[in-house]
Each structure stands twice: as C-alpha cells, then as structure tokens.
Amino acid sequence: MTFGDQEPILGSSNPYGGSSPINRLVSAFHMLPGIGPRSAQRLAYHVLRSPASEAQELANALLDVKENIILCTSCQNLASSSPCSLCDDSGRSQDLLCVVEEPLDVVAIERTGDFKGNYHVLHGVIAPRSGVGPEDLKIEELMNRLRISDNTFKEVIVATNPSTEGEATALYLAQLIHSLDLKVTRLARGLPTGSDVEYADIDTLGRALEFRHEI
Amino acid sequence: MNARAPRVYSTQAIVIGQREFVEAAKIITILTPDIGKQDSVAKGILKPKSRLAGHLEPGTYCDLELAVGKNLDIIREAQTISRFRASQQNLMRLTTLVYVLELVDKYTVDGTGSDLFEPLLVTLKRLDIGENLSAVVHGFELMLLEITGFRPSLNQCVNCLSDVNSVQANWSQDGGGIVCGQCVSLVPNTSLIEPKVLKVLRAYQSWPYEESARITIDSYLEAQLSKIMHGLMKAFAERDIKSADLLEEVSWRKELPEGRVIS
C-alpha cells in the first residue's frame, strides 16, 4: 500500500483531492506513531512553508537512515557501524549488561548518566496477543552473547517495561539466564517524581513500600 | 419526556489487553459483567504522570468510570481492585494468566461474553493463590467452551451420539470429542486418547472445582492434557492461540534438569 492509496485525511472538503502531493504528505505523517490527523496536517503545512533546502534535508535524512543504519552485531542496537560506539567503548564496565526492549530505552538510560555497562536490545517483548513470541525477539543473540562472553558478565539487568508483557519477558529471560549461573536483576519500581500517592496503583505503591530505603 | 441515557457510567472490569492508539492514548479491551467485551479509549495513558496507566494493565481487576463516546467509550477514572500480584511474579502463572486472557479475547466479540466475567475472575483469583494449575486452567478452558456453546463431548461419540462410558476411546479434535470404536473408520483425523487423560478431562468437566483440584497430575499427564486442550481451543477458535505455544514451552523448560544449556 502506498500513502496515496489511503482515504483522504482532509475529508470531502479537501480542495487538493485524494492523491494530491499535500494529501500524500499528510497521509505519510499520519502513519507515524503518535501523530494524529491534525498534527499530520500541521507538519505537512510546516514543510510546505519551509524553504526547499529544509525539505530536501528532511528527505535526505529519511533516506539516509533507511540506507545506512544497521543493527550492531553485539548489542543489536541501531547503529551506523558494527560494533557500535557503545560496545566499542573500552571505558564501559564489561561485567554489567542491561537488557532493554527498544533502542529508545538505551537513549533514556544513557540520559541518566548513571549506567556505564553494556546493553542488549530485544526489539520488543513477548506479547502473544500481538503474535510476538520469544523467537521473534533477539533472545537467541543475547544467550549466545552471554555464553561466548565466558563469564565476563557478572550481572544482567533486565530493564523491560513494568507492564504485563514486560514482566513476562523478564521472568522468561531470568529463567534462561539462571541456567548460565549469572546474577539477574530487575529495575526497581516505585513512584515517579511529581506523582500523587493518592492516585498510585496498588501494585506500584506496594512495591514502593517493599523497596523503601532509609534516609 | 424520555429519560436521557446517562453520559457517564461506572462498572467493574477485567482488562483483557491493550493496544496503541493515536498520540498518548491506548485502546483498552475490557470484560465487564454487564456489557461483556468492549474496547475503550484511555487518553494520555502513555504520559508519565497518567493516573490511568498502572490501573489498566492486562489482567487487572478494576473499577472504571467511563464516558459514552461517539465510537468508543472513554475511560475517565480507573482504580485497581486487584492486580493479582503473585501471578505477576511467577513465569508459569503469568504465562497462564496471559493464555487465559487471550482465550477470552479470541472466543468473544464486542458486546458478548458478560457471562464469562465471573468464571474469569474466579480463575484469576485461583491462579494468584497458586492452586492446582492444571485444574484451574483446564477447568477454565472447559467452562469457556461450555459457555460459548462448544462443550466437548467426553461421554458420547461425536458421530453416532451413543454413550461411551469406557475410557478406551479415540479423539477427534475437529469433531470436538471422543469417537466410539464403531465410528472410528467414519470420522477423519482421529487419534487414540490415553484413558487417564480422558478420565481427568471428564472429572474437570463434571466435578465441582474443589474436588477436581484434588486430583494429582504428573508432568507427563499434564503435557498430554495440555496438548489435547490447546489443540481443541485452537480448532474451535479457528485461529492460532500464540500464548498456548508459549505456555507449552515454559512448562517444558521447567522440566529440564538444572544447569542444562537451552538452545
């Protein structure tokens, strides 16, 4: 399916017709996650008002990312070379491995500046309802990496989301990794900064109490 | 003057699943005691300070307040009654919970399944307590089939409808039950069913839960029971049930000797 095949987003009053370049661009933006029809229209009109050089830069960047981004053979993260800059960094601790769901989770953890170990990206979680099983994730690559590391890693931190699927994936991984005699830990859970105790769900509040710390 | 339908209503619900929607919203599939399965919208659930997020994870039993929407109702408030926390911390029980939710999802369409609410809630509670897993899950499968009109025939031949009291019988997955000796050549794709398996299935189907939960099941028998029931659930649903495969894999792995390398 091409963008132009979709229903016109601007509706029947759309003066540009279903396959006009503007409508194609709106449809293309609408296909992106988190972009609704109104946001798609705003973005499309922003591009329309921008200088041609900016539009060209955007188009080039889109094509460049599709052509030149690969998966790092070690951590499975998106990178422009393999091994990626994180795996190649000798200053990082070689005995800690953090397993995350998506490449964006690496960015989020790196932003904290508190983690100096290595990463492994699963590219999803076990979600049977969406048809995703363990074989669809980078679990085999993780296990191979742990096996050939010959006990370099002392601890594996499973940093999947605290959702039902994330928990199932974490427990599944823990069972596999324990067979290699490695320590497996899970990210702590508690109240987010700025939240209300009153509105916290009982699971989060219960865990926050369970893992409270002395001040 | 006609009374206007209320714009906002409250209900108890069990969250069956969720999927991404526009911007920070998600579509939450819930099962309620009055309406049955329905899709509702949880706006802003992906934002870090969302007051809905922790209350709408799959498998959560909660109180909801919803506003009637043009297409889908909007979840305004959610309060967890139980998250079945013990089930969330054990792979076998969590996988079973996911399987049970997928079964409800696959066997219902929007606006149906209200009579599954109580059996599902009881099953989630039993899973959480850690009762006999075999009796809990296969008991639920059989109850689900009964409620949705697919009751397997375990005492009558599916072809000639004659009573079969013996435990020596053949099994027809497509026919949804046992086949007597006289009909075995007339029904395609039959296979032998182990007498013990048939005996246990009959008990799960007809005995009260408290009694059937006392049956001791070894791992071989459980593997046979799961094979028969998963095949049946997929055949009647007419589509794959992915979590059944995961459940089989998790059960199989549990049986491996400690320290064995998994490939």
Structure tokens at A205: 């509040």
Pick out chain B residues at pLDDT < 70: 1-5, 252-263
pLDDT of residue B260: 35
Residues on chain A touching B250 (C-beta within 8 angstroms): 172, 175
Bridge partners of residue B14, in order along the sequence: B31, B61
Determine phi and psi for A78, rounding to 5 degrees.
-70, 135
Residues on chain A touching B58 (C-beta within 8 angstroms): 129, 163-165
The Cα–Cα gap between A197 and A194 comes to 10
Nearest-CA distance A20 → chain B (Å): 24
- Got the DSSP string for chain A? --GGGSPPTT-TT-TT-TTSHHHHHHHHHHTSTT--HHHHHHHHHHHHHS-HHHHHHHHHHHHHHHHH-EE-TTT--EESSSS-HHHH-TTS-SSEEEEESSHHHHHHHHHHT---SEEEE-SS--BGGGTB-GGGTTHHHHHHHHHHTTT---EEEE---SSHHHHHHHHHHHHHHHTTT-EEEE----PPTT--TTT--HHHHHHHHHT----
- The partner residue sitting opposite A133, judged by closest CB among B17, B57, B245, is B245
- Ordered by where they begin, the domains of chain B are 8-83 (2.40.50.140), 86-254 (1.20.1440.120)
Third-level CATH fold of A91-210:
Dna Topoisomerase Vi A Subunit; Chain: A, domain 2 (3.40.1360)
pLDDT of residue B13: 97
* pLDDT, averaged in runs of 10, over chain A (215 residues): 46 56 92 87 94 94 92 94 91 94 95 94 91 92 91 92 92 92 91 82 86 87
The Cα–Cα gap between A64 and A46 comes to 22
Residues on chain B touching A163 (C-beta within 8 angstroms): 57-58
pLDDT of residue B263: 30
Query: Which chain B residue lies closest to A167 (C-alpha atoms)?
Result: B88
The answer to whether residues B130 and B23 touch, using CB atoms and an 8 Å cutoff, is no
Structure tokens at B160: 């000639």
Bridge partners of residue A141, in order along the sequence: none
- Reported as half-sphere exposure (CB side, CA atoms, 13 A), residue B20 has a value of 10
Query: Which chain B residue lies closest to A206 (C-alpha atoms)?
Result: B85
Nearest-CA distance B174 → chain A (Å): 24
Residues on chain B touching A143 (C-beta within 8 angstroms): 262
Nearest-CA distance B11 → chain A (Å): 18
Give residue limits of the domains in chain A.
Answer: 3-68, 91-210
Domain at A3-68, CATH from 3.40.640.10, 1.10.1240.10, 1.10.8.420, 1.20.58.220 = 1.10.8.420
The answer to whether A134 contacts B22, with C-beta atoms less than 8 Å apart, is no
The answer to whether B98 contacts A202, with C-beta atoms less than 8 Å apart, is no
pLDDT of residue A18: 63
The answer to whether A164 contacts B245, with C-beta atoms less than 8 Å apart, is no
The answer to whether B23 contacts A126, with C-beta atoms less than 8 Å apart, is no
Rounded-to-10 torsion of CA A127, A131, A132, A133: 100
pLDDT of residue A14: 52
- The partner residue sitting opposite B57, judged by closest CB among A130, A163, A179, is A163
The answer to whether A130 contacts B261, with C-beta atoms less than 8 Å apart, is no
Structure tokens at B248: 């089989």
The Cα–Cα gap between A107 and A102 comes to 9
The answer to whether A34 contacts B58, with C-beta atoms less than 8 Å apart, is no
The answer to whether B250 contacts A172, with C-beta atoms less than 8 Å apart, is yes
